[in-house]
């Protein structure tokens, strides 16, 4: 299933988003076929998630959404209140990795 985050619900309708993303539901599975077995992706628009308050947390938001979706947790729990903690946790995890080129 393909999830999208759309904080400005007034810009596009569900039908417009589905039409815009329709090619991705076919192309992405073709690209991933060598990695996983998948036929097509469903599209679900999520409008109940929180919006980030600054321009620097978008990566952390994306990582947390993917993490929460992959373990079946509610994405509504991803919010700005936890961002400082999650940002530090991610920084520590990345720092402790052996990233020598």
Task: Dump pLDDT digits (tens) for 56-87.
Answer: 778 888 888 888 888 888 888 888 888 889 88
Statement to judge: residues 22 and 59 lie in one domain: no
| 83-96 helix and 58-70 helix, angle to the nearest 10 degrees | 90
Q: How many percent of the chain have pLDDT more than 90?
A: 0
Contact 2, 24 (CB under 8 A): yes
Last residue of a domain, one of 24, 47, 70: 47
Domain of residue 100 covers: 50-101
Q: For residue 41, which of 32, 51, 49 has the smallest C-alpha distance?
A: 32
Cα–Cα dist 93/84, whole Å: 14
Query: What six digits make up the tokens of 61?
Result: 């938001």
Statement to judge: residues 34 and 59 lie in one domain: no
Statement to judge: residues 24 and 43 lie in one domain: yes
Statement to judge: residues 29 and 57 lie in one domain: no
Statement to judge: residues 38 and 74 lie in one domain: no
Strand partners, 46: 5
């Amino acid at each position: 299933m393909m999830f999208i985050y759309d904080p400005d619900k007034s810009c596009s309708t569900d039908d417009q988003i589905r039409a815009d993303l329709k090619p991705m539901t076919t192309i992405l599975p073709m690209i991933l076929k060598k990695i996983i077995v998948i036929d097509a992706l469903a599209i679900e628009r999520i409008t109940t998630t929180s919006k980030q308050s600054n321009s620097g947390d978008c990566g952390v938001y994306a990582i947390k959404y993917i993490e929460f979706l992959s373990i079946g947790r509610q994405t509504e729990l991803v919010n700005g209140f936890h961002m400082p903690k999650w940002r530090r946790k991610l920084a520590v995890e990345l720092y402790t990795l052996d990233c020598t080129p």
